[in-house]
Amino acid sequence: TRLILATRNAGKVTELRAILSDAGLPHELVGADAYPQVPDVKETGVTFAENALLKAHALAQATGHPAIADDSGLCVDVLNGAPGIFSARWAGAHGNDRANLELLLNQLGDIADEHRGAHFFCAAALALPDGTERVVEGRLLGTLRHTPAGGGGFGYDPILQPLNDTRTCAELTAAEKNAISHRGQAFRALIPILRDLLG
Ligand code: ITT
């Protein structure tokens, strides 16, 4: 069966294909870009889980195929969890990763390392055309650097240093990031659910 990846974020698509292919799922993974006629969903939820479900249901309804969606972001302790669900549009325009990262660094200023705790959060949702839904979550704890480092990954990866590592997420290999990331944890938790509900 066809399984729709309900995202237009290229960084997520790359990671999801790697995470899901490790599981050897029998499904054909098709990105949302294969359905350009389906309009982007308004992310009106107030939690990652709500927004992930909105995106998954929209694609499942529009395509008639099961759909999985990711809603994710960076939650900064000293900012009471911001940017959180607003991570993709923190500096205004949607998906301007560089501007988002620069604004966040400016907001933190020279706050000392012990106050630079943050985590990445991911909600992974599955929706079936009949309305069945499941959602699971993952997180990656770390601290925020004062300056970006590394060319891998996407989004805020150059400034988040995972606990127990000396590198930023953008300095990890793709496999290293997926092994510990919020997205890796959430989608690995979704795999038995996919096997159960989709066969
Ligand atoms: P879709 O809704 O089409 O999936 P999006 O980019 O709008 O794409 P989100 O609303 O979930 O997705 O926003 C996620 C943002 O959070 C993303 O743009 C990054 O800024 C940040 N983010 C999420 N996961 C990340 C990761 O693994 N590394 C770095 N930044 C990440």
**pLDDT reading at 108 higher than 90:** yes
Our answer on whether the CB atom of 20 is closer than 6 Å to any ligand 1 atom is no
Tokens at residue 166, please? 């000396």
Nearest atom, ligand 1, residue 48 CA: 11
Tell me which residues are annotated as active site. 71
For ligand 1, atom 18, which residue shows the shortest CA distance? 88
**pLDDT reading at 26 higher than 90:** no
Check: pTM over 0.95? Answer yes or no: yes
ipTM above 0.95, yes or no: yes
Our answer on whether the CB atom of 143 is closer than 6 Å to any ligand 1 atom is no
Domains of the chain in start order, with CATH, are 2-198 (3.90.950.10)
Nearest CA to 140 among 97, 108, 172? 172
pLDDT (tens digit per residue) in 146-156:
999 999 999 99
State the first-to-last Cα distance of the chain, in angstroms, to the nearest integer: 9
For ligand 1, atom 2, which residue shows the shortest CA distance? 7
Question: What is the mean pLDDT of the segment spanning 163-175?
Answer: 97
pLDDT (tens digit per residue) in 33-47:
999 999 999 999 999
User: What integer best gives the mean pLDDT of the chain?
Assistant: 96
∠ CA 155-13-175, rounded to 5°: 75
